[in-house]
């Protein structure tokens, strides 16, 4: 019989749960609301119930489940398996998530931040399946990032490595929510695409999206991409600014950890190949020509399953390398 | 008895050679001209003679020498131990340096580029002795770089990782010799400091260094630092541009591989603490304040010995990890 692993992907709104085989097959999947008011201990109970139910549902013996992986928005204290001060999960500050969860499920475990777990999912079973060195950007409300170097996630000295959204692409550029100026995130997150667009409208620039604005509905990043696809000049300008920022960060990362692939994940990446083509165009314009080693740009493949596949896969990887944290630790 | 390792640091002008103990003590050191016209096979013979002589000089048995490390300007084919097309070593294109050298000395070996080897020296026995994650810039004619992540050099997928001189700090900025625009190297190498300074003089800017220019002697980067230290406004402006570029690259690298220390090495770093203080000032101004994990800026400690200590240390490290290439391979 095969080994299986629980994958627990905690988001601000929902917790996605999956039971995944050692070959990356999803044997069961589910989702429960994160339900902030109940507090983290109640959440751990509920997650545990669903996880055990998934084993029955999959019809495999419980002892075939070797370990669990947990993904969670950072910042995290990886060494002690705790959340730190959380922005989106009220009441979870300093909660010892890893110990509680593994105690409840009586399995050793591994915890990492959500972007690293999505990256691991894509690396193990998704767009990065055949590579050994890659970086990934999650393009959503903000921009998360992760680095795989020689088959391992780069955590950095204090556990906050891979924060690629805060690479500086335009010094003295736009203010980022993080307090820095000119971060990648200030040009390429969904939020900032919309903000840049509406700022430009406010200065009197014309666009086909003015009519949406007039109805009172808020313009979304998807609207901007649709308009850009239809030839809207302002929309294209904003999208190009985004793609160039991604290309600049990728050139710098290529010189640093030298990935062979850049993967775009998260909501904004759903526009697909037009996005990777555009980023690659700017990358090729910018990158030196001193060697012709290939660099690939790809859209993430696992979609909403990336979190559970990544967390379960991280548990498998830590199990194989004997790096799991024992029950309750 | 202790183990010892040969360290062979091949530069454009000189080859530095050392016999180094497993504890990092230099038992013998020497230097021979690289003598380009004789070609690489003759050089291998000479290096080998000096290396064997050093063992006698140190008074240790030959079989105590376990392996050799070789550092060389890139680009290199690390997998096959070959030089590729070299910029500064005429007649060395595609020379199988690692195999030839290890055949001659009858010891297994390891080859890496010079910046990685200097970095390894500083990491093992120098300014980075007590850290596990660091980056290093070699500030000379150009800018080399290297990354240590969890105690290992980051080579990147094709072996050209750690090229930190070509991180882009100012998009649309100064042209770099590599063909990109706005690279760190275009602001912070010795060559570029002088070029920026003389360009500014040519536009009519005033400076205390005009008198040197008038004598016909060429202004050096050291002159610029001396003038800056004496309050010369233009010199300070150029130095600040350099320090800010180093800070911008370091902020981006902090978010990427999250080093706990940045080490400045190479000729320009000899100006010392004033340089690290200034880079740190710009770093602190630029870096987010979302956490207060420390980041240290330090000047390299090993000076001209970094290459031989680094190459010998890399041989020791590969020996311990069973990653040496066998004789002649």
Chain A CB within 8 Å of residue B79 CB: no
| Mean local confidence (pLDDT), B156-178 | 96
* pLDDT score at B280: 98
C-alpha distances (whole Å) from A3 to each of A318, A320, B22, B59, B78 are 13, 11, 43, 57, 37
* Angle in degrees, CA B97, B136, A289, rounded to 5: 60
pLDDT band at B226 (very low <50, low <70, confident <90, very high): very high
The verdict on A155 touching B (C-beta cutoff 8 Å) is yes
Average pLDDT along chain B:
95
Cβ of A155 within 8 Å of Cβ of B258? The answer is yes
Q: Give me the pLDDT at residue B130, please.
A: 97
Distance (Å, whole) CA B160 – CA B143: 14
Optimal mutation site among B84, B257, B293, interface A, most CBs of chain A within 10 A: B257
Per-residue HEC secondary structure of B202-248 comes to: HCCCCCCCHHHHHHCCCCCHHHHHHHHHCCCHHHHHHHHHHHHHHHH
* Alpha carbon A50 to its chain's center: 23
Q: How confident is the model at residue A1 (pLDDT cuts 50, 70, 90)?
A: low
**CA–CA distance, B109 with A67 (Å, rounded to integer):** 40
Name the nearest CA neighbour of B207 among B247, B238, B181: B238
Check: CB of residue B225 under 8 Å from CB of residue B236.
no
Which chain A residues are closer than 8 Å to B170 by Cβ? 171
Chain A contact set for B116 (CB, 8 A): none
pLDDT of res. B166: 97
Contact with chain B for residue A215, Cβ under 8 A: no
A36-82 residue pLDDT tens = 677 899 999 999 999 999 999 999 999 999 999 999 988 899 999 99
* pLDDT confidence band for B36 (50 / 70 / 90): low
Quick check: A73 and A112 in contact, CB under 8 A? Answer: no
Tell whether B76 is within 8 A of chain A (Cβ): no
Q: Which two tokens stand for residue B320?
A: 């311990």
Question: What are the b/e assignments for B200-219, b being 16+ CB within 10 Å?
Answer: bbeeeeebbbeeebeeeeeb
Name the minimum distance, in Å, from the CA of B14 to any CA of chain A. Answer: 26
The number of angstroms, rounded, from the C-alpha of A90 to the middle of its chain's C-alpha atoms is 21
| Nearest 10 degrees: Cα torsion B280, B285, B287, B288 | 140
Measured CA to CA, the distance from residue A100 to residue B50 in angstroms comes to: 62
pLDDT at residue B69 greater than cutoff 70: yes
Residues of B in contact with A168 (CB under 8 A): 169, 248, 251-252, 286
pLDDT digits (tens, 9 = 90+) for B96-133: 999 999 999 999 999 999 999 999 999 999 999 999 99
Q: Give the number of other CB atoms < 10 A from CB of residue B33.
A: 11
User: Using only C-alpha atoms, what is the Rg of chain B?
Assistant: 21
In chain B, positions 280-309, which contact chain A (CB-CB < 8 Å)?
286-291, 293
- Measure CA of the first residue to CA of the last residue in chain A; give whole Å: 28
pLDDT of residue B75: 84
With H, G, I as helix, E, B as strand and everything else as coil, classify residue A3: coil
A7-33 pLDDT, tens digit per residue, is: 999 988 899 999 999 999 999 999 999
Q: How far is the C-alpha of B23 from the C-alpha of B69, rounded, in Å?
A: 15
pLDDT band at B90 (very low <50, low <70, confident <90, very high): confident
CA distance A267 to A35: 22
Determine the residue of chain A that is closest to B134 in CA distance. A157
Q: Which residue's structure tokens are 């320009």? A: B268
From chain B, the residues in CB contact with A144 under 8 A are none
Q: Which of B307, B317, B302 is nearest to B66 (CA)?
A: B317
Nearest chain B residue (CA) to A252: B167
Could you tell me which residues are beta bridge partners of residue A70?
A8, A111
What pLDDT is stored for residue B195 in this prediction? 96
pLDDT at position B1 over 60: no
CB-CB neighbours of A113 under 10 Å: 23
Task: Give the pLDDT confidence of A247-270 residue by residue, as tens digits.
Answer: 999 999 999 999 999 999 999 999
Torsional sign, CA B233, B239, B240, B241: positive
Reading the block at residue A113, the tokens are 């931040």
Q: 3-state class of A297 per DSSP? A: strand
Phi and psi for A162 in degrees, rounded to 5?
75, 10
Tell me the pLDDT tens digit for each residue of A213-254: 788 899 999 999 999 999 999 999 999 999 999 999 999 999
8 Å CB contact of A257 and B170: no
Across the range A308-319, mean pLDDT stands at 98
Average pLDDT over residues B293-299: 97
Residue A163 tokens read as 């924060």
Q: Does residue B328 or residue A276 have the better pLDDT? A: A276
pLDDT of residue B10: 93
Given a cut of 80, whether residue B87 has pLDDT beyond it is no
Determine, for residues A258 and B147 on separate chains, whether the beta-carbon distance falls below 8 Å. no
Mutate to test the interface with A, among B255, B262, B321 (most CBs of A within 10 A): B255
pLDDT in tens, A201-215: 999 999 999 988 788
For A187, A213, B85, B106, B169, the CA distances from B256, given in Å and listed in that order, are: 18, 38, 30, 40, 15
Nearest CB to B257: which of A180, A248, A256?
Answer: A256
Higher-confidence position of B75 and A255: A255
Give mean pLDDT, residues B24-52: 91
Q: What is the ipTM of this complex?
A: 0.96
Of B62, B137, B230, nearest to A255 by C-alpha is B137
Residue found by looking up tokens 């110990």 in the block: A99
CA separation for the pair B139, B221 (Å, rounded):
11
Q: Are the beta carbons of A167 and B255 separated by less than 8 Å?
A: yes
Neighbours of B233 (CB within 10 A): 12
Length of chain B: 329
Q: What is the pLDDT of residues A91-112, one digit of tens each?
A: 888 999 999 999 999 999 999 9
Buried b / exposed e across A239-264, counting CB within 10 Å, b at 16+? bebbbbbbbbbbbbbbbbbbbbbbbb
pLDDT given at position A89: 76
Considering CB atoms only, which of A156, A179, A257 is closest to B133?
A156
pLDDT in tens, A170-194: 999 999 999 999 999 999 999 999 9
| Partners of residue B293 in chain A, C-beta under 8 Å | 157-158, 160
* pLDDT on residue A276: 97
Residues 125-154 of B with CB under 8 A from A: 131-133, 147, 149-150, 154
- Please choose, from the candidates B38, B27, B28, B103, the residue with its C-alpha nearest in 3D space to the C-alpha of residue B68: B103
Residues of B in contact with A132 (CB under 8 A): 157
DSSP letter string, B139-178: ESSSEEEEEEETTEE---TTS-TT-GGGSBSSTT-PBPTT
Query: Can you give the pTM of this predicted structure?
Result: 0.96
Nearest to B149 among A154, A178, A286 (CB): A154
């Amino acid at each position: 019989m095969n080994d299986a692993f629980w994958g627990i992907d905690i988001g601000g709104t929902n917790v996605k749960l999956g039971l995944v085989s050692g070959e990356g097959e999803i044997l069961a999947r589910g989702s429960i609301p994160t339900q902030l008011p109940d507090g983290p201990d109640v959440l751990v109970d509920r997650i545990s119930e669903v996880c055990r139910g998934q084993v029955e549902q999959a019809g495999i013996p419980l002892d075939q489940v070797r370990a669990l992986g947990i993904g969670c928005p950072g910042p995290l204290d990886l060494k002690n398996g705790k959340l730190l001060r959380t922005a989106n999960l009220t009441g979870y500050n300093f909660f010892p998530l890893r110990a509680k969860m593994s105690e409840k499920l009586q399995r050793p475990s591994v915890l990492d931040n959500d972007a690293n777990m999505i990256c691991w999912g894509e690396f193990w079973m998704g767009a990065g399946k055949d590579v050994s060195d890659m970086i990934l950007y999650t393009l959503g409300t903000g921009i998360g990032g992760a680095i795989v170097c020689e088959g391992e996630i780069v955590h950095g000295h204090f556990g906050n490595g891979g924060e690629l959204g805060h690479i500086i692409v335009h010094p003295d550029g736009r203010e980022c929510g993080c307090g820095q100026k000119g971060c990648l995130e200030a040009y390429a997150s969904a939020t900032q695409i919309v903000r840049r667009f509406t700022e430009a409208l406010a200065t009197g620039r014309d666009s086909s999206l003015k009519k949406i604005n007039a109805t009172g509905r808020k313009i979304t990043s998807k609207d901007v991409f649709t308009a850009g696809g239809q030839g809207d000049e302002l929309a294209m300008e904003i999208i190009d600014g985004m793609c160039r920022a991604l290309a600049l960060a990728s050139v710098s990362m290529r010189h640093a950890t030298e990935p062979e692939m850049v993967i775009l994940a998260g909501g904004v990446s759903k526009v697909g190949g037009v996005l990777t083509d555009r980023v690659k165009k700017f990358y090729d314009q910018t990158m030196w020509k001193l060697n012709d080693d290939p660099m690939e740009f790809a859209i993430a493949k696992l979609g909403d399953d990336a979190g559970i596949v990544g967390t379960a896969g991280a548990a498998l990887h830590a199990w194989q390398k004997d790096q799991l944290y024992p029950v309750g630790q």
